[in-house]
Structure 1
Amino acid sequence: MTEQQEASEDAVMTRIGQAVILLHAGDREEARNRLGEIWAEIAAEGDSLHRCTLAHYMADAQDDPADELAWDLRALTAADGLRPGEEPALPPGRRPGHGVGQTPGEGSGQVVGQTARPGHQQAVRVFYPSLHLSLAADYVKLRRPEAARVHLARARAATGALADDGYGNGVRAAIARLERRLAAEPGEGPRPFPEQYS
């Protein structure tokens, strides 16, 4: 990869990060607008890590649970699009509660032909527990507890990729909380999930 390509990819992540700052500051509409602009530029040919990261945050910016689910599914599809066998490297920075860990190709369906820089494959792998946790939370909001349990089980199964650090412990704790919640409501559809983990 050339220096120009690397700089371009860094610029994409910087722009995503700027939109996420707006999202965390409460400006959901502007965050959605900026993320939408970036998605329009990268969706077809973009790096899988960029697409996964952007879609995951775009899900957090949605007001409609069905839209949130659609973006979380796009994030999983982007993660699944990575080809196995690339040499892993240390992942870039992550925020607690958003992350990944099963073998590429599992989940919502592999996107054939998409590749990522080697470090990106490992970064996306570490996101899998959180990607499936987000989908489980989406299905809870949509009162689809069985689908929520499926993704919660996948999240739990993927936690082996998580380090024993603040991020990994935060994701594992969030999985345990949602497991307890679903276990406590066996006879009825779950109430809307009050908020995403931060």
Structure 2
Amino acid sequence: MTDTAAPDTTMAAIIEAVTAGRQGDTAGARTRLLALWEEITPTGDALHRCTLGHYLADLYPDAAQALIWDIRALDAAAALTDARAQDHHASLQVAGFYPSLHLNIADNLRRLGSFDAAREHVEAGRARVDALPDDDYGAMLRRALVEVGEAVEAQSTEVRPTAPTM
């Protein structure tokens, strides 16, 4: 957050739930995020919806359930402005969200056997990689887009060994 912005209690609650999930409390994290979704509502703050959907998807091992939340995150990103994202953190640009969002959708579609649709999202993610930082995070996403693209071409529905898990 910038120094002049008021504390964002919803983002803090999302981050707290995600941290719990990463520490092994997947069910608890999912329950907390679902409760927050009810507070945010499907038409609420786009940054909250995008962030919550993106992280909640990772808490579902079932690709269909994860896909629902990844699509909600992508839809929210379309309504998000750089100004709103930068209210949370000055370095954020919405364009940088898209490679990861498309990657996650592509991977879930691939796991569901929808290879043509997965390929479209791999390409959409690749088209936006210039918005990624030139750091470890950007390199990881670029590699993951290659991996998912290769899995799509191989028509593999297996979970990738490098796929993020909570």
TM-score between the two structures when normalised by the length of structure 2: 0.85
Q: How far 1:64 sits from its partner (Å)?
A: 2.2
Q: How far 1:140 sits from its partner (Å)?
A: 1.2
Q: How far 1:58 sits from its partner (Å)?
A: 0.7
Q: Is the 1:49–1:123 contact (alpha carbons within 8 Å) kept by the matching residues of 2?
A: no
Q: How many residues align?
A: 161
Q: Is the 1:137–1:148 contact (alpha carbons within 8 Å) kept by the matching residues of 2?
A: yes
CA distance in 2 between partners of 1:138 and 1:88 (Å): 26
Residue matched to 2:95: 125
CA distance in 2 between partners of 1:141 and 1:15 (Å): 30
CA distance in 2 between partners of 1:14 and 1:42 (Å): 13
| Identity of matched residues, % | 38
Q: CA RMSD in A?
A: 2.6
Q: How far 1:175 sits from its partner (Å)?
A: 0.7
**DSSP-derived class of the 1:193 partner:** coil
CA distance in 1 between partners of 2:73 and 2:129 (Å): 18
Q: Is the 1:42–1:51 contact (alpha carbons within 8 Å) kept by the matching residues of 2?
A: yes
1:3-82 alignment to 2 at 5 Å?
6-7=6-7, 10-82=8-80
Q: How far 1:49 sits from its partner (Å)?
A: 1.2
Residue matched to 2:156: 190
Mind listing any 5+ residue stretches in structure 2 that lack a counterpart?
none
List per-residue Cα deviations over 1:105-163 (Å, max 9, x = no partner). Answer: xxxxxxxxxxxxxx59x433211000000000001110111111000000000111111
Residue matched to 1:100: none
Q: Is the 2:60–2:66 contact (alpha carbons within 8 Å) kept by the matching residues of 1?
A: yes
Q: Is the 2:85–2:94 contact (alpha carbons within 8 Å) kept by the matching residues of 1?
A: no
Q: Does 1:146 align with 2:146?
A: no
Q: Which runs of 4+ in 1 moved over 6 A?
A: none
TM-score between the two structures when normalised by the length of structure 1: 0.72
User: Partner letter of residue 19 of structure 2?
Assistant: I
Q: Is the 1:143–1:192 contact (alpha carbons within 8 Å) kept by the matching residues of 2?
A: no
Q: How far 1:20 sits from its partner (Å)?
A: 0.6
Q: Does 1:181 align with 2:147?
A: no
Provide closer, same or farther for how the CA distance between residues 71 and 44 of structure 1 changes in structure 2, counting only shifts above 3 A: closer
Q: How far 1:83 sits from its partner (Å)?
A: 5.1
Mind listing any 5+ residue stretches in structure 1 that lack a counterpart?
93-118
CA distance in 2 between partners of 1:23 and 1:191 (Å): 25
